[in-house]
Amino acid sequence: MTMMTAGQYEESLRRLNLVVYMFGKRIENVVDDPIIRPSMNAVAKTYELAHHPEHEDIMTATSHITGNTINRFTHIHQSIEDLVKKSKMGRLLGRETGCCFQRCVGMDALNALSIVTFDIDAKHGTEYYTRFVKYLEYVQENDFTVDGAMTDPKGDRSLPPHKQPDPDQFMHVVEEKKDGIVVRGAKAHQTGAVNSHEIIIMPTLSMREEDKDYAISFALPSDAEGITYIMGRQSCDTRKLEGGTMDQGNLLFGGHEALVVFDDVFVPWDRVFMLKEYEFSRQLVEQFAAYHRQSYACKVGVGDVLIGAAQTAAEYNGVEKASHIRDKIVEMNHLNETLYCGCIACASEGHKEPSGTYCVNILLANVHKHNVTRFPYEISRLAQDIAGGLMVTLPSEKDLQSPETAKWLKKYFKAHRDIPTEHRMHILRLIENLTLGTAATSYLTESMHGAGSPQAQRIMISRRINMQEKQRAAKKLCGIDET
């Protein structure tokens, strides 16, 4: 098999034996759980669109290992065109789902490892790259969803891993055996964790020699013995339990994050891709982060949905022709398209690494993600401005169905004469979902911290900028000759 359908993906998840906890209880049927299900639907969209004639050019690629047609989420970028298509794929899926569709973290981890394992072997004569390519083929041929796990809990942020009072605050190797290694630790905020077949672990920081036990990278099946998932909450998550079709805003899709605990888990050698080569941890962090910062093309697609919702709310309220409303809609589009420029630019300015993998322009990927930490907040502010206060004071769908209250809601929440009150309520719930509810986890706070907090991008921008060139240009123009 090379490419699963959405239905086959769902069935494949049912065969996993994951240990998942939520609200203090073990979840036996993860796929049908009403809180988790919308996030599974979002990943399933990445499978569905790969079979869609209109989207297959963006959603699929040719494997450089087997020559088979594969889902782009398992592909190693072979050209600038591949990088650009990746950005377009992110926008497309963001627009189709209105949320985080989760599958990019694994794609970004695979691409970063395809570069770094090659470079480690070149220096140390190890065999990580051969192992990695074999693993990659397994992922491609089975069309797996892979969780990319970088972020450790990190304990006291002022201390390096080896100085933490609890040594497990960063993932580390606790034993080396004849047939593999044993690892302990956790990964926090893991996107799409329980919708994944595989999980790839990477170090979260650049490490020094004292921290070499923490400089590890490996892959495991998501249901490997010793792994436990504890689901994170999202704002308004229990609205999904109410059974209606309005109050949750986005009826079909959502995301999820989880704390993933590794309690002395065994990893066979053929799945180990870095073991104590601490001097490569910085490269792995930077290259994964750059790919993942490009992946925030997804927020452009979600921005499309929010702009569409704001325009619709304006029309339902009868204010769409007001000059300040039109101007605010233009501003929202300006910000959103500026984000699109960034993710296309870092792809278009990509380059070939020694392994053959194409990497994005790291400076521009960081600039793009830094804009993502700001613009969705401003787009959300404008959407809330246009939506009006009803977005946060609207009674529930059940009040709309109750004979005692329905007549009052229909009467007093009617705006434009041709628009049913229910439509107005639906669109306001969607704006609430994106800017305050479950999807705000992804559209706002994930925009801030996902793929690294703003300061991480500022550090990378300062490292990558060519200041000497700028100074040379300035001095030349005003006649300063220092030779």
Ligand X SMILES: Cc1cc2nc3c(=O)[nH]c(=O)nc-3n(C[C@H](O)[C@H](O)[C@H](O)COP(=O)(O)OP(=O)(O)OC[C@H]3O[C@@H](n4cnc5c(N)ncnc54)[C@H](O)[C@@H]3O)c2cc1C
Q: Which residues are catalytic?
A: 100, 104, 191, 257, 292, 296, 298, 446
Output 281 or 447, the one with its CB closest to ligand SF4.
Answer: 447
One DSSP character per residue, 250-282 reads SSS----EEEEEEEEEEEEGGGEEEES-GGGHH
The site partner of 376 among ligand X, ligand SF4, none (C-beta below 5 to 8 Å per kind) is none
Which stretch in 38-46, 165-173, 236-244, 446-454 sits in contact with ligand X by CB under 6 A? 446-454
450 binds ligand X (CB under 6 A): yes
Task: Kindly determine how many residues on this chain lie close enough to bind ligand X according to the rule CB under 6 A.
Answer: 22
Of residues 482, 433, 339, the one with CA closest to residue 98: 433
306 binds ligand SF4 (CB under 6 A): no
**């047609």: which residue's tokens?**
69
Candidates 336, 427, 452, 457; binder of ligand X (CB under 6 A) is 452
Output 157 or 411, the one with its CB closest to ligand X.
Answer: 157
- What's the rounded Cα separation, in Å, for the pair 162 and 205? 12
Of residues 1, 341, 27, 16, the one with CA closest to residue 142: 1
Q: Shortest approach of ligand X to residue 217 CB, angstroms? A: 12
Candidates 104, 188, 231, 307; binder of ligand SF4 (CB under 6 A) is 104
Q: Shortest approach of ligand SF4 to residue 232 CB, angstroms? A: 14
Residues 143 and 66: beta-carbon distance below 8 Å: no
Which stretch in 1-9, 294-302, 346-354, 454-462 sits in contact with ligand SF4 by CB under 6 A? 294-302
Residues 22 and 231: beta-carbon distance below 8 Å: yes
Residues 442-471 that bind ligand SF4 (CB under 6 A): 442, 446, 450
In this structure, the number of other CB atoms found within 10 A of the CB of residue 221 comes to 16
Which stretch in 173-181, 293-301, 343-351, 375-383 sits in contact with ligand SF4 by CB under 6 A? 293-301
- What's the rounded Cα separation, in Å, for the pair 311 and 261? 43
298 binds ligand SF4 (CB under 6 A): yes
Of residues 199, 202, 203, the one with CA closest to residue 224: 199
The site partner of 104 among ligand X, ligand SF4, none (C-beta below 5 to 8 Å per kind) is ligand SF4
- What's the rounded Cα separation, in Å, for the pair 12 and 8? 6
On the CB side of 200, CA atoms within 13 Å amount to: 27
149 binds ligand X (CB under 6 A): yes
